[in-house]
Amino acid sequence: MVFAPATCPRLIVKIGSALLVHPGGAVRRDWLAGIAADIAARIAEGQQVAVVSSGAIALGARRLGLAKGGRASLEDAQAAAAVGQIALSQVWAEVLGHERLTAAQMLVTLDDLEDRRRYLNASATLDRLLSLGVVPVINENDSVATAEIRFGDNDRLAARVAQAAGAAGVVLLSDIDGLYDRNPALPGAEHIAVVERIDSAIEAMADRGSASGMGSGGMVSKIAAAKIACAAGAALAIASGHAERPLAADARHTLFVPERRARARKAWLAGRLTAKGSIVVDAGAARALTQGNSLLAVGATGVRGMFFRGDLVTIEGPAGPLARGLAEYDAADVARLLGTHSEHQAAILDYAPRAALVHRNHMALL
């Protein structure tokens, strides 16, 4: 692994279902004990480590005898998660306890990290647990999450947890050793060792499949996670977890190089996943935004969706999404102001206009 204690004081390790659970639904306890030993070694060297662990649905489905690994319906998945989460947390407590480490369970939904106040609460809890030498074991609260309020995969959850914890690194342990320029099952597929910048060419390499059939993510979700992590200043590695001690192994992986660390609020904005709508802008406004300016009405050409003042919106330029920010107006008023200069806006609105549609202090470039 590329993360040394001196350069990565806090590390988030995500473990996929296919690594933690046998196809028949039993926990791979010996392998998990190796992970616990790796974590103990990291902590002894000065790192603080949190785990994002999949596996609750797979474990619960086995105990309940549910078809399709508990994913035949939302109700099955919620029931399986409720049963499996107890088993999962117990196993983690046991293997970490064997290494004289204390485990803590944190269950979150998308809303917990999208709402600013709840995000800060989660961040404070993570910070305190890690400072106490505890190993937080985090999972999505699938027993109550619905399609509208769920991450859908633990890759992006791990990236958001890294952001909330102020971690410098994320390792996604998976059933594949990184990104390839095409589906690795195809002849001539080449492994990508380092990604300096995630662009359309990198995104096109992603394959949507989850090889095991147990997980909910594929390479697409891992690329999305890398974008969130890197925007928050954290390096992210995709590595195979098939080794007996994967965190100690010097094995092939793909490293996504982080951008310059963003201010905490802007990193949170960039990482949010549930925009309420979008504002479309022209090329001139797009250039102005990249230079650090606020979004003014004169450069806006369209509005999509129903949102209210304070909601998160995406700003879309001619080449696609370029920023996220908090709207200063309701969607209806944005529509009335499209293309207008500030001196005309009071007459249109019948009240004093604000400085911008989206202020630069409440905006993050993508």
pLDDT category, 39, cuts 50, 70, 90? very high
Pairing of strands 320-326, 363-365: antiparallel
The reported pLDDT for the residue numbered 149 is: 43
Residue 195 annotated as binding site: no
Whole-number average pLDDT of the chain: 86
Q: How far is CA 297 from the centre of its chain?
A: 32
Residue 195 tokens, joined: 């990604």
Residue 158 pLDDT greater than 90, yes or no: yes
The reported pLDDT for the residue numbered 214 is: 43
Residue 342 annotated as binding site: no
Residue 16 annotated as binding site: no
Residue 175 annotated as binding site: yes
Residue 276 annotated as binding site: no
DSSP 267: H
Residue 154 annotated as binding site: yes
The reported pLDDT for the residue numbered 147 is: 55
Comparing 219-228, 253-262, 282-291, the range with the smallest average pLDDT is 253-262
DSSP 273: -
- Among candidate residues 208, 210, 212, the one with its CA nearest the CA of residue 224: 208
Residue 213 pLDDT greater than 70, yes or no: no
Condensed to tens digits (0 to 9), the pLDDT of residues 54-71 reads: 888 888 888 898 888 888
Residue 115 tokens, joined: 């709402």
Taking phi over 0 as left and psi of -120 to 50 as alpha, with beta for the rest, 65 belongs to left
pLDDT category, 233, cuts 50, 70, 90? confident
The reported pLDDT for the residue numbered 184 is: 85
pTM of model > 0.85: no
Residue 295, classified by CB atoms within 10 Å of its CB into exposed (0-12), middle (13-18) or buried (19+), is: buried
- Among candidate residues 115, 121, 89, 88, the one with its CA nearest the CA of residue 102: 89
Residue 69 tokens, joined: 């690994």
The reported pLDDT for the residue numbered 52 is: 96
Share of residues in the chain with pLDDT > 70 (%): 89
Instruction: Report d(CA 218, CA 240) in Å as an integer.
Output: 13
Comparing 127-131, 274-278, 284-288, the range with the smallest average pLDDT is 274-278
Residue 89 pLDDT greater than 90, yes or no: yes
Residue 143 annotated as binding site: no
The reported pLDDT for the residue numbered 210 is: 44
Instruction: Report d(CA 79, CA 360) in Å as an integer.
Output: 44
Residue 222 annotated as binding site: yes
* E strand or H helix at 235: strand 235-240
> By the 8 A CB rule, do 207 and 271 touch?
no
Residue 230 pLDDT greater than 50, yes or no: yes
N-terminal to C-terminal alpha carbon distance within the chain: 28
Helix spans in 205-261 (H): 219-231
Residue 129 pLDDT greater than 90, yes or no: yes
pLDDT category, 266, cuts 50, 70, 90? low
Residue 73 annotated as binding site: no
Residue 214 annotated as binding site: no
> By the 8 A CB rule, do 350 and 305 touch?
no
Instruction: Report d(CA 326, CA 358) in Å as an integer.
Output: 6
Pairing of strands 135-140, 103-108: parallel
Instruction: Report d(CA 139, CA 154) in Å as an integer.
Output: 7
pLDDT category, 6, cuts 50, 70, 90? very low
